[in-house]
């Protein structure tokens, strides 16, 4: 079997504005939903007036330190860096008619710096944050008006960065709206399935309109969707468990089906009927949805199981979704089950289903790193995790999967989305900051930094 990856394979890392930038209210930036989740996605959202200072306000200060960080990514040989634009830097409340020039200027400088180092930007339009102004005014994505606000934002950044950014993603882990509605679609409080699916519908239409705008404004760019690859296996081979696993997988594949095939799948109609969900969809919405993505991107950290009678099994929480643990797999310190072969399985499933190129835009191990007395960090557990996954990625490519690239999550330590911890580290680069915000923010190369550098240099040939 071919040991190296395809020519031009895009190796790199992945992060998000709200988890790295800090400078939460600098240069005219507005308040985002993430700014009101001081304890992360799993914590409670606070009101604007009661917002406590929190770790994301500074995060890892990427806003000011990006030249040093990009230099380190270039030293590892990155071909691509995924990050997001904070919508609130461009449209602070979300519904202005003119963008904030200071925010646009920041991303000009950031993208120029990447390009100067030969690193392609891969940019997410919305990564777990939206202007809180739109939540107050339109009930987040619950209001149809938010579609036009998002389209204006998307058109603004496509026009501004058309010569700099050739890879785009619309909404991060769009399927998370089902599990974390405030984070995903800006809905406050307990909401019905009806309300959540209506908001999701608006977001799917906005995503399709952004795809259309991107195709018009940057014809040589590629734009993808972004799914949380929440693979579930049946807990046993009992047919009822197999059917249950199929339906649980369809909950998240629904989003890919709409974004890659251009229409709601048949089976969701039964689900809507049985749950008394009536999505208001105009003819124009259906026409808009027909504009499909160029590639499918996804995150993959773990797999889990599903059962027809879930009460008989324990449950655990992975990255936001609940699941039944797989008795054949070990877990990370945060209880996420480690399943490298699941990544090969998922790549094949997605490729079979959509027949479009794929892009792995998140994968990695969150772990506590303990620096040695001499300051070095020996993260062999992280190397092991990544290596095992990359070997399965290579297998999937040998199976015939068309894969554009791989960006591991958090190439530099950053604030956890789920729990707002700094101690849950994913990076090749250590950042001196703890969960209380103490530390110098100094950057330090870990053992995995040199390992990944070799992987990229050898185009995967150095993996066992």
Give the residue among 36, 61, 145 at the shortest CA–CA distance from 439.
61
The burial of 189, by beta-carbon neighbours within 10 Å (0-12 exposed, 13-18 middle, 19 or more buried), is given as exposed
Q: Which is nearer to ligand BG6, 147 or 417 (CB)?
A: 417
Give the residue among 440, 438, 289 at the shortest CA–CA distance from 375.
440
Question: Which residues make Cβ contacts (< 8 Å) with residue 181, sequence separation at least 6?
Answer: 187, 191, 196, 199
Query: What token pair was written down for 362?
Result: 């998140």
Query: What token pair was written down for 292?
Result: 């499909």
CA 180 from centroid of its chain's CA atoms: 14
Strand-strand pairing, 322-323 and 316-317:
antiparallel
Give me the least distance between CB of 229 and ligand BG6, in Å please: 10
Q: Is 294 an interacting residue with respect to ligand BG6 (CB under 6 A)?
A: no
Q: Is 88 an interacting residue with respect to ligand BG6 (CB under 6 A)?
A: no
Q: Is 395 a catalytic residue?
A: no
Please give the helix or strand (H or E) that residue 452 lies within, else none: helix 447-457
- Cα separation, 15 vs 182, in Å, equals 20
- Binding segment for ligand BG6 (CB under 6 A), chosen from 51-59, 197-205, 281-289, 414-422, is 414-422
Give me the least distance between CB of 173 and ligand BG6, in Å please: 5
Q: Is 124 an interacting residue with respect to ligand BG6 (CB under 6 A)?
A: no
Catalytic residue (choose from 113, 173, 291, 362): 362
Pattern of binders to ligand BG6 over 348-377, x per CB under 6 A? --------------x---x-----------
Q: Is 56 an interacting residue with respect to ligand BG6 (CB under 6 A)?
A: no
Q: Is 35 an interacting residue with respect to ligand BG6 (CB under 6 A)?
A: no
Q: Is-contact 293 223, C-beta < 8 A?
A: yes
Give me the least distance between CB of 69 and ligand BG6, in Å please: 17
Question: Which residues make Cβ contacts (< 8 Å) with residue 159, sequence separation at least 6?
Answer: 217
Give the residue among 375, 411, 382 at the shortest CA–CA distance from 71.
411
How many residues touch ligand BG6 (CB under 6 A)? 16
Q: Is 417 an interacting residue with respect to ligand BG6 (CB under 6 A)?
A: yes
Q: Which residue in 32, 54, 83, 172 binds ligand BG6 (CB under 6 A)?
A: 172
Q: Is 407 an interacting residue with respect to ligand BG6 (CB under 6 A)?
A: no
Q: Is-contact 336 300, C-beta < 8 A?
A: no
Q: Which residue in 16, 119, 227, 321 binds ligand BG6 (CB under 6 A)?
A: 16
Q: Which residue in 13, 133, 418, 427 binds ligand BG6 (CB under 6 A)?
A: 418
Q: Which residue in 120, 319, 337, 407 binds ligand BG6 (CB under 6 A)?
A: 319
Give me the least distance between CB of 299 and ligand BG6, in Å please: 5
Q: Is 21 an interacting residue with respect to ligand BG6 (CB under 6 A)?
A: no
Question: Rounded to 5 degrees, what angle do the CA atoms 113, 382, 167 make?
Answer: 35
In the complex, the residues that contact ligand BG6 under the rule CB under 6 A are: 16, 19, 128, 172-173, 228, 299, 319, 362, 366, 409, 416-419, 424
Residues recognised as catalytic:
362
């Amino acid at each position: 079997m071919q040991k190296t990856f395809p020519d031009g394979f895009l190796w790199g890392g992945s992060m998000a504005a709200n988890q790295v930038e800090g400078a939460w209210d600098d240069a005219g930036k507005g308040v985002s939903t993430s700014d009101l989740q001081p304890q992360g996605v799993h914590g409670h959202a606070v009101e604007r007036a009661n917002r406590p200072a929190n770790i994301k306000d500074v995060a890892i200060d990427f806003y000011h330190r990006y030249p040093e960080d990009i230099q380190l990514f270039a030293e590892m040989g990155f071909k691509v860096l995924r990050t997001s634009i904070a919508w609130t830097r461009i449209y602070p409340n979300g519904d202005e008619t003119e963008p904030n020039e200071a925010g646009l200027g920041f991303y000009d400088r950031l993208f120029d710096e990447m390009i100067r180092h030969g690193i392609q930007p891969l940019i997410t339009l919305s990564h777990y944050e939206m202007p809180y102004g739109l939540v107050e005014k339109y009930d987040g994505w619950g209001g149809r008006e938010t579609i036009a606000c998002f389209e204006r934002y998307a058109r603004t950044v496509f026009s501004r960065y058309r010569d700099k950014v050739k890879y785009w993603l619309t909404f991060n882990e769009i399927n998370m709206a089902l599990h974390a509605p405030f984070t995903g679609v800006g809905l406050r409080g307990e909401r019905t399935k009806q309300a959540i699916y209506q908001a999701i519908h608006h977001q799917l239409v906005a995503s399709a309109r952004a795809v259309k705008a991107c195709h018009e404004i940057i014809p040589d760019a590629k734009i993808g969707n972004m799914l949380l690859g929440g693979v579930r296996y049946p807990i046993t081979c009992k047919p009822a468990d197999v059917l249950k696993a199929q339906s649980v997988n369809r909950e998240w594949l629904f989003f890919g089906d709409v974004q890659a095939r251009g229409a709601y799948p048949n089976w969701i109609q039964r689900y809507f009927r049985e749950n008394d969900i009536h999505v208001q969809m105009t003819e124009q919405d259906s026409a808009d949805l027909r504009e499909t993505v160029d590639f499918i991107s996804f995150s993959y950290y773990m797999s889990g199981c599903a059962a027809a009678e879930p009460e008989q099994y324990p449950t655990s929480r992975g990255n936001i979704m609940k699941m039944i643990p797989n008795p054949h797999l070990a877990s990370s310190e945060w209880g996420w089950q480690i399943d490298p072969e699941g990544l090969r399985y998922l790549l094949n499933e997605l490729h079979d289903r959509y027949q479009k190129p794929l892009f792995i835009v998140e994968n990695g191990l969150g772990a506590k790193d303990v620096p040695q007395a001499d300051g070095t960090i020996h993260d062999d557990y992280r190397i092991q995790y990544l290596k095992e996954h990359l070997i399965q990625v290579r297998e999937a490519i040998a199976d015939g999967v068309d894969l554009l690239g791989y960006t591991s999550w958090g190439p530099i330590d950053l604030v956890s989305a789920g729990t707002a911890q700094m101690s849950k580290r994913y990076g090749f680069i250590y950042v001196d900051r703890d969960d209380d915000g103490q530390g110098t923010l100094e950057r330090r190369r870990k053992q995995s930094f040199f390992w990944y550098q070799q992987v990229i240099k050898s185009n995967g040939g150095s993996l066992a």
